Structure 1
Amino acid sequence: MNEVAILCVDDETVILESLQEQISRHFGEQFMYEAAESAEEALEIIEELNQEGVKIVVIVSDWLMPGMRGDELLVKVHQQFGDITTIMLTGQADEKAIERAKREANLYCCIHKPWRKEELLKIITTALESV
Structure 2
Amino acid sequence: LPSKPLPPRLVIPENDIIENFLKGSGPGGQKINKTSSAVQLKHIPTGIVIKCQDTRSRSQNRKVARRLLSEKIEELELGEGARTAVKAREKSKKKASGDKKRRRKYRALAGEKGEGK
- TM-score surpassing 0.5? no
* Superposition TM-score, scaled by structure 1 size: 0.21
Higher relative contact order (CA 8 A, sep 6+): 1
Which has the greater radius of gyration? 2
* Superposition TM-score, scaled by structure 2 size: 0.22
Greater per-residue strand proportion: 1
